[in-house]
Amino acid sequence: MKLSILILAAGSSSRLGQPKQLIEFQDETLIRKITQTALSISDEILVVLGANAELVGRNLISFSEQVNTIYNPNWQEGMGTSIRIGTEVLAPKSDAIMILLCDQPFVSTSILQEMMQIFANSKRPIIACEYKNQLGVPMLFAQSIFPELLKLHGDKGARAFLHKYQGQIGIVPFPEGSFDVDTFEDLVTLQKTQELL
């Protein structure tokens, strides 16, 4: 199976007031941390850049031989445009696409491996993580779902069509997935967590 990984890193982090992609956690920026995790399970990685593209792209220079980047000129319209542009690039060479965000600091190789294992064993077209009683990213999509990803637009992420596939989704419990870095308060919490680790 050819698994490709799509990392969404185009947002402007307007609520945080600084690029969340470049926040440091465990001695690494969040964008580099999720990229390293992605590389542990796949050699086909695409990072979608938008706001602060030059800054974030520069932070990935050491991965330039292993990771591709693409600029989303419509990043201000929302996540759906980044998923669509990334899928357009990856679909022809992929049996499945996994979507990751850079602001979930607790995504681990083991979580992603569990998703892949459930996908391989169950043949379900979508694998999603569950936290706070809802499904979310990381998510993995079979080739049969690519047409849905290519229809996304605006700020509609992949959750937009999950209801259509109820009963066909493999689920991985990931309570830590509920934590992401959106606000200054989240950043403070992340720094406190780091001190405890």
Q: Average pLDDT of 131-141? A: 94
HSE value, Cβ hemisphere, 13 Å, CA-based, for 190: 23
Percent of the chain at pLDDT exceeding 70: 98
Whether residue 147 is predicted with pLDDT greater than 70 in this model: the reply is yes
Whether residue 132 is predicted with pLDDT greater than 60 in this model: the reply is yes
Q: Average pLDDT of 85-98? A: 96
pLDDT in tens, 15-68: 777 888 998 888 899 999 999 999 999 999 999 999 999 999 999 999 989 999
* Residue range of the domain that includes 143: 3-196
Whether residue 197 is predicted with pLDDT greater than 70 in this model: the reply is no
Long-range contacts, 29-33 (Cβ 8 Å, 24+): 29/59, 30/102, 30/103, 30/105, 30/181, 31/7, 31/56, 31/59, 31/60, 31/102, 32/59, 32/60, 32/63, 33/102, 33/105
Nearest alpha-carbon partner for 70 in 9, 29, 19: 9
CATH of the domain at 173: 3.90.550.10
Whether residue 80 is predicted with pLDDT greater than 90 in this model: the reply is yes
- pTM for the model stands at 0.93
Whether residue 1 is predicted with pLDDT greater than 60 in this model: the reply is yes
Mean pLDDT over each residue of the chain, to the nearest integer: 91
Q: Average pLDDT of 120-140? A: 94
Predicted local confidence at residue 19, as pLDDT: 87
Whether residue 143 is predicted with pLDDT greater than 90 in this model: the reply is yes
Whether residue 161 is predicted with pLDDT greater than 90 in this model: the reply is no
Count the domains in the chain: 1
Predicted local confidence at residue 62, as pLDDT: 93
